[in-house]
Chain A
Amino acid sequence: MMKHPIYNEIVLSYFFNTKQADSLQGGSVLSAMVGSPAQGGVLKLQLQISGDQIKNAVFKAYGNAALIAAAEYLCETVIGLSIAAVQNINAADIAAVLSLPRSLFSTALLVEDTLKTVLGKRGE
């Protein structure tokens, strides 16, 4: 079987199964959108929070397959976790799980930045 020259099976698997690509409405939903088309990536992340727990997480992403995969991975991972458990998730963690090469690390950074920005909106 031919291997994709850039994306590994983990990345492709998330990229082709974007279950969390969606939008949420409502008062308990926090949203942030970070990045720009000129930079090659835009990520919109929405978290539905109840008390200290993340009930749901969805995203919309514009960018390469790694960004879309990383956003999907993050959303799947944070659902059901407490705020405390997710606020230290960083780009290195995401890159490690997805085995991202250095050239794609910026996509993990954008995911980290967006997560931090959303969480920063709590209590605003």
Chain B
Amino acid sequence: MFYENKPIYLDYAAETPLDPRVAAVLSAYLQEGALGNPHSVQHVYGWKAKAIVDKAAGQIAELIHAQPPEILWTSGATESNNLAIKGSVDFYQDKGRHIITSATEHKAVLDVCAYLQKQGYEITYLKPQSNGVIAIDELRQAIRQDTILVSIMHVNNETGVMQDIRTIGKITRQKGILFHVDAAQSASRLPINVNEMGIDLLSLSSHKVYGPAGIGALYVRQGVQLTPLIQGGGHQSGFRSGSLPVLLILGMGKACELMKADLSADREVLQNLTKRLWAGIQSLESVRLNGELSFLAPGYLNATFEGIDGDAFITALTNVAVSSKAACTSAAVTPSHVLIAMGLREQAAQNAVRFSLGRMTTTEEIDEAVKQITYVVIRLRALSPVWELLKEGKNITHYPWQVLR
């Protein structure tokens, strides 16, 4: 009764819509019966399936300038991150047991690192600067004799902040350290060249590049060894056993082919739409951009509207689908670890809202979203005692709040 059935979708960082051109390919394959296990090497059904998988590997390899045999299929970026990190540090543990990552990584990296710490590995978590960017000098200084892996994401999923992967890749290559990059977000927004960027392991996710959910890939540079997480029939050269989901692979391959063709056009449109959205939001007073525009990948804005609770904002914004990274909306929310690492106060982090745009976003949608956001911000500020105090010039942090419990 209060929520539109199809609100404007500004949550591309969570999931990109399936591209209709991918849907058409999937639909045709399903209509034909979708039969064939690519590991059945003795009959034509298996050969057909294998041809689909091989073609898709080529499409993914082309997007990131890799070779098809360097593409490993996984269930998604979470598994890719797990396999890249656990698999490499286990295999190379005799060379050292020190890992460098950053405090703003995805949980699929941070939780893996926390697990490895319990297994006796040492982890250095680089703290980003206030704009979210990791200082290269700090990374350089963190490198030790026994450092075996550096894992840094390309584009942050909460803020859109880009890291200088190319420079980091130069350093790790020079020092002979493996370099893993979580590119789940960036693959749909920035060009990736694993060779020029010095990347050894790269995580990709299909449902972040307009493909179907449930499939991902890990690029593994030729010669890099991994201890498998999933053992079984020895599929995928033993790196990851299990029959391959041909349907999903077909979809991810097509999605990556389209991405390769559309990326530069997509980027330009996205850049303009993001600017338009920010101009609209910025015209409201006291809005904080969490990040710095020049270091953001196109299509992301993470903002805090002063004087407004983030949950109330999202609840009131019935016609625009956005998310706050505070995953739960009860009274005891945990603020985003990413924003806290960037030095935001707990309150500002808790109230942050993420807007993420993508291929299907239109100018009309952005203009309508700005209208809706403006309405909600004005309405909620009109009933906010905190906003009232801010307008009176009071310092909210040091205000004598009457706290009874």
Contacts and interface: CB of A to CB of B under 8 A. Distances in A.
Are both chains from one complex? yes
Interface of A: 1-2, 4, 6-7, 9, 12, 15-16, 18, 21, 23, 32-44, 59-65, 68, 103-104, 106-107, 109, 113, 117
B331 A106 contact: yes
Given A15-B316, A16-B2, A106-B331, A60 B404 contact: no
Contacts of B5: 1-2
Interface residues of B, number: 32
B330 interface: yes
B350 A40 contact: yes
B396 A63 contact: no
Contacts of B347: 37-38
B331 A64 contact: yes
A42 B312 contact: no
Contacts of B1: 1, 9, 12
B333 interface: yes
B387 interface: yes
Looking at chain A's contact residues, the main secondary structure is mixed
Contacts of A68: 312, 383
A36 B329 contact: no
The 10 closest A-B pairs by CB, nearest first: A36-B401, A21-B383, A103-B330, A44-B385, A60-B385, A65-B315, A64-B311, A62-B386, A106-B331, A62-B384
A16 B383 CA distance: 12
B384 to A, nearest CB: 5
A113 B387 contact: no
Given A36-B403, A64-B312, A42 B383 contact: no
A98 to B, nearest CB: 14
Q: Could you say which of B3, B316, B402 has the most chain A C-beta atoms within 10 Å of its C-beta?
A: B402
24 contacts: A2-B3, A4-B3, A7-B315, A12-B315, A15-B315, A16-B316, A35-B403, A39-B403, A40-B331, A40-B332, A61-B383, A61-B384, A62-B308, A63-B309, A63-B312, A64-B311, A64-B312, A64-B329, A64-B331, A68-B383, A103-B331, A103-B332, A104-B331, A113-B405
